[in-house]
Structure 1
Amino acid sequence: MTAAAAMAVASVDPQGRILAVDDGVGGKRRGALWGRRKRTKEMAIAISQEAFDAMVRENMEDLGMDPDEALADAVEALTLQGADISGIIKRVPGEAAAAEVSPVVRVLDELKASPGARGGSGEDLGRLVSLLDELRGLCCSGVGSENAAVAVRNGGVETLVALCVSAQIEQEKLLASGLKALSSMIRDIGSTEKFRQSEGPKIVMDILKGGSENSDLLDAGFSVVAAASAGNEVVKESFMDLKVDELILHLMREKLKTNVQSLYEAVRVLLTPDDCRVVASQVYGYSRKFAEIGIAEVLINALRGQVPPSSLPSACAALKAIAVNDEICRSISENGGIDVLLQCIDEAGEQKNKVTAKSCCSLLSKLGASDTNKSVILQRGGLEKSLKLTSTFSEDASIIQEAMSLVTVLTLRSPDNAARAMEVGYGTLAIQAMQRFPSSGQTQKQACLMIRNLVVRNPENRTILLNDGAEKLIRKAKVTHASCKDAATAAVRDLGLDNYNA
């Protein structure tokens, strides 16, 4: 059987056998964007609950299987055929109703049967909120992924979008619960497409504009923006057409001290080219637009202490997503971004906050890609502060990787910076990291990359590192970790050794 694209619909005969596949992805696409669409791999065929039940029934009636065997055989056969059975309720037809088998279906059935948000009594609205919170809990539980798939397959996205449309903006608790439940079930391209086709972007934007005084509602709304935009270029485009960037700028200026963490996450997702169906993403242009209207500057102010500590990593990730070219990176530095980050790195070390430390180092590496910023970082003591961080988190390979990544960026095409890095102690750090974390392929690879930049234009550094045992460590990493092969080979070559391919 040939698998078709995501969202395809399988035609089946009365016995549940797949006869043909209708590729339902195409539809009407907007503008030139989908002219650049590509199919990177075959996607699973979506099969209906009715077709699945029919196959189980056929196994029992025509092939004489007992119920458990018939069910297991149907699951195995469809999986081997490339069918998407996520969200399918694995039941024996006739033994139990879907609502009895799945609590998700039961909750959805009750939501669909409810009187709705308009005209309902206080008790009715309270019941709706309870059902929405229960649905969210089910989709966020240990089996949340499967529950979310069941919800989407049984009309959950459309039901919740319709509920949000029917609610008054003053019904903030109800709307917040509805949006939180919606964000918990949007997890893949199928669910984001259902959200888009239900006019979800416009509905959510209207709620965000009308409920901008309620932090809980804003947090829930931007959680939906982030979830729905992930992996879907058309949804990102829809939100940008609705001027989500201007709304974000307004809210950031007005709500800096309010903990709306999902707002930063929404920025990061909107500016991430993560839709494998398109050849050229438009998010690079979105990043420049975010910078042009002043969002980068507002984010710098947020990092100065106006954002709650719990949201600081998300704010760093958002600013990193905006910093897509040299001009923007220099602008962030000119507005004090590097000074703020170095201060945050110091504080993260003092507070033993690994998440903040990693986020700040990662953003600093992005800004350091600008040659102008390289000098600023060194002048502000960036090398020393980063090295101090590795001492504080000496047993955390991920922090050491971020520090070495930063130095790799700062020493690129800069022999003066490489000399300074060796003087501070990064040659020793590379050797120690490779000795301490031999099983971490990423640590070994990052050490090799940093060593290359430390020696490629600084022959005096080669002798130091070779005397410290760099060759043996690099060759061992090359043999042990396939991911290190290229970096290790180049490091041995740049150390001046002839047999670098050995």
Structure 2
Amino acid sequence: MATKRITQDTFDEVVKENIEEFEMSPEEALNEAIQQFETQGVNLLNIIKAVPTVDSESGTVTRHPVLEALDQLNQVLQGAVTDKESVKAFLVRFSSECGADISHRIAAGSNNAYPTLKFLVQKYLKDPDMLPVTLDTMAALLNGQPDLIQTAEIQMLCDVLQENVASETVSVSCVRLIRLSCTMHEMNRRAFVKAELIPLLIQTLEKNPQSTVAIKEACGALRILTVDDDVRVPFGKAHDHAKMIVEEGAMKALLDTLRVHLEDSSLSGDLCLTLGRLAVRNEFCQEIIDLGGLKLVLQVVNNNMDNQIVVKQVLAMLKAIAGNDQVKVAIVNAGGAAIIVQAVSQHIKQPGVCEAGFAAIAAITLRNPGHAKIVMEAGTAPVVIQAMQIHPKEVATQKQACMALRNLVARSREQCQSILALGAEPLIRKALACCEDEAKAALRDLGCEVELKELWKGEKNPIIR
């Protein structure tokens, strides 16, 4: 892995040298510089890979557009520009430059863009017209580099959201900025939760019931609090955060919102996905059922059977709540097994849908032979076999397919022959290469010959007393 770094000036000078001394075309000079540094093991993530503009009079490399846009924002801080329309134009230009590539954002961050934007946010805190624009600009900068935000600004953003929770434009911009600040950053998540972010996000849902954008952003922010995606931290607090979100009343707020937006495919899928992320305990899964959530969720998938994104989101949610044995029963009794099989069958060329569907099937059939029989009667086995044939290199799909087949026969051995007759064994043996444990479990429970390794026998190294 490349670990060396260079400055933007160094890269630009090499490109300039290739053009002037080696008479390369601008495109050739750029490609040559990139190849040269990558061969040397240099990480170019922080480098803007563009042909630098050279001043015709001085011959020096001019500043990159993102830095020129930052210079304009600094003029606002210095009082050289006060017209709001001009300031808006500067903010929009800087956001656009940051949106071009992560290297543009890194270059801006390295040139103290964050302090500049922090002061601009503070400057327009009480201006409902300018505040959303400044928040959006800060979000553009922090996208992919959440380390820039400081503890003081975390509290400031929560205060902004609290004061403007009923304002669609401000709350949308503020929540988006918070979500990006928490992405792949565990310590920021903890700091925002400590600053009482969770109840504010639920209030955003409740105070903006008709705003699709506000609801989507609030759902996204709630979900980002429930993931462990920061490799720098050995143990995250995703489970604790999910528990806190549910205890603040999020389930009811999400389901109430879902009832209002059942006809909005994109939004209903987002809400179902969020519900699934919160189903981390038995009692939380049951709460969804008690609040009438299962009927709503099945209605969502029936209404959007042609939409692979929504189908995948709902299947993932059903898998999550099926961790509760009573919920499994409710899903099957509501006809959920047939709906899952139909959804996977309709989108069988989409590995993500197959993975989510087979995971749901494995969950509702686990330790339940009655469910296994119902699921088999719904035509599951041929769909699983077909998906394994279509997606031989999709590891996650193969893994979940093996788990589904295993659970279908684990306590219902009478199903083995019908599954083997479909050609399951050779497909499962091929899957041994990518998901050995799951494939061996499926082969074993199907009654096929399989070599099971005993990893440790307790020999040779006796316990020393």
Question: TM range, normalised to the smaller chain?
Answer: 0.7 to 0.9
Percent of aligned positions with the same letter in both sequences? 25
Partner of residue 271, structure 1: 226
Partner of residue 461, structure 2: none
Aligned residues: 441
2:167 is aligned with what amino acid?
A: N
Deviations 1:137-188 (A, max 9, x none): 2233xx422222222222222222221011142333x221222222223233
Partner of residue 69, structure 2: 107
Please tell me whether the aligned partners of residues 231 and 275 of structure 1 are also in contact (alpha carbons under 8 angstroms).
yes
Please tell me whether the aligned partners of residues 38 and 44 of structure 2 are also in contact (alpha carbons under 8 angstroms).
yes
Q: Which moved more, 1:68-77 or 1:281-290?
A: 68-77
Change (3 A) 1:113 1:486: same
Q: Tell me, yes or no, if structure 1 residue 459 matches structure 2 residue 413.
A: yes
For residue 393 of structure 1, report the CA deviation from its aligned partner: 2.8
For residue 443 of structure 1, report the CA deviation from its aligned partner: 2.9
Partner of residue 247, structure 2: 292
Give me the TM-score of the superposition, normalised by structure 1: 0.79
Query: What is the alpha-carbon distance in structure 1 between the residues aligned to residue 431 and residue 70 of structure 2?
Result: 53
Deviations 1:16-59 (A, max 9, x none): xxxxxxxxxxxxxxxxxxxxxxxxxx9946665577789999x9
Query: What is the alpha-carbon distance in structure 1 between the residues aligned to residue 248 and residue 59 of structure 2?
Result: 59
3-state secondary structure, aligned to 1:498: coil
For residue 85 of structure 1, report the CA deviation from its aligned partner: 4.3
Please tell me whether the aligned partners of residues 261 and 268 of structure 2 are also in contact (alpha carbons under 8 angstroms).
no
Q: Tell me, yes or no, if structure 1 residue 332 matches structure 2 residue 299.
A: no
Partner of residue 425, structure 1: 379
Query: What is the alpha-carbon distance in structure 2 between the residues aligned to residue 85 and residue 196 of structure 1?
Result: 26
Partner of residue 87, structure 1: 46
RMSD value over aligned CA atoms? 3.2
Please tell me whether the aligned partners of residues 81 and 87 of structure 2 are also in contact (alpha carbons under 8 angstroms).
no
Matches within 5 A, 1:121-136: 121=82, 124-136=83-95
1:282 is aligned with what amino acid?
A: K
Q: Which moved more, 1:286-295 or 1:414-423?
A: 414-423
Query: What is the alpha-carbon distance in structure 2 between the residues aligned to residue 288 and residue 405 of structure 1?
Result: 23
1:299 is aligned with what amino acid?
A: L
Deviations 1:100-155 (A, max 9, x none): xx211110111111257x9965xx21111112222222233xx4222222222222
Deviations 1:353-394 (A, max 9, x none): 221111111111100011111111111110011122234334
Query: What is the alpha-carbon distance in structure 1 between the residues aligned to residue 398 and residue 298 of structure 2?
Result: 26
Give the one of 378, 382, 385 matched to 2:336.
382
Query: What is the alpha-carbon distance in structure 2 between the residues aligned to residue 283 and residue 178 of structure 1?
Result: 30
Query: What is the alpha-carbon distance in structure 2 between the residues aligned to residue 353 and residue 43 of structure 1?
Result: 40
Q: Tell me, yes or no, if structure 1 residue 203 matches structure 2 residue 156.
A: yes
Give the one of 98, 104, 124 matched to 1:139.
98
2:357 is aligned with what amino acid?
A: A
Q: Tell me, yes or no, if structure 1 residue 491 matches structure 2 residue 442.
A: yes
Give the one of 132, 135, 140 matched to 1:184.
140
Which blocks of at least 5 consecutive residues in structure 2 are unaligned? 454-465
Change (3 A) 1:95 1:270: farther
Give the one of 309, 316, 335 matched to 2:272.
316
Please tell me whether the aligned partners of residues 219 and 274 of structure 2 are also in contact (alpha carbons under 8 angstroms).
yes
Q: Tell me, yes or no, if structure 1 residue 155 matches structure 2 residue 112.
A: yes
Please tell me whether the aligned partners of residues 136 and 181 of structure 1 are also in contact (alpha carbons under 8 angstroms).
yes
For residue 88 of structure 1, report the CA deviation from its aligned partner: 3.7
Partner of residue 459, structure 2: none
Deviations 1:389-428 (A, max 9, x none): 2343344333233221110111112222112211221112
Please tell me whether the aligned partners of residues 165 and 200 of structure 2 are also in contact (alpha carbons under 8 angstroms).
no
Which blocks of at least 5 consecutive residues in structure 1 are unaligned? 1-41
Please tell me whether the aligned partners of residues 171 and 204 of structure 2 are also in contact (alpha carbons under 8 angstroms).
no
Partner of residue 202, structure 2: 249
Please tell me whether the aligned partners of residues 48 and 104 of structure 2 are also in contact (alpha carbons under 8 angstroms).
no
For residue 203 of structure 1, report the CA deviation from its aligned partner: 2.4
Deviations 1:184-229 (A, max 9, x none): 23233xx3121126x3312222222222333122111111111110
3-state secondary structure, aligned to 2:435: helix
Please tell me whether the aligned partners of residues 53 and 92 of structure 1 are also in contact (alpha carbons under 8 angstroms).
no
Q: Which moved more, 1:43-52 or 1:261-270?
A: 43-52
Change (3 A) 1:148 1:450: same
For residue 87 of structure 1, report the CA deviation from its aligned partner: 3.0
Query: What is the alpha-carbon distance in structure 2 between the residues aligned to residue 383 and residue 44 of structure 1?
Result: 50
Please tell me whether the aligned partners of residues 48 and 103 of structure 2 are also in contact (alpha carbons under 8 angstroms).
no
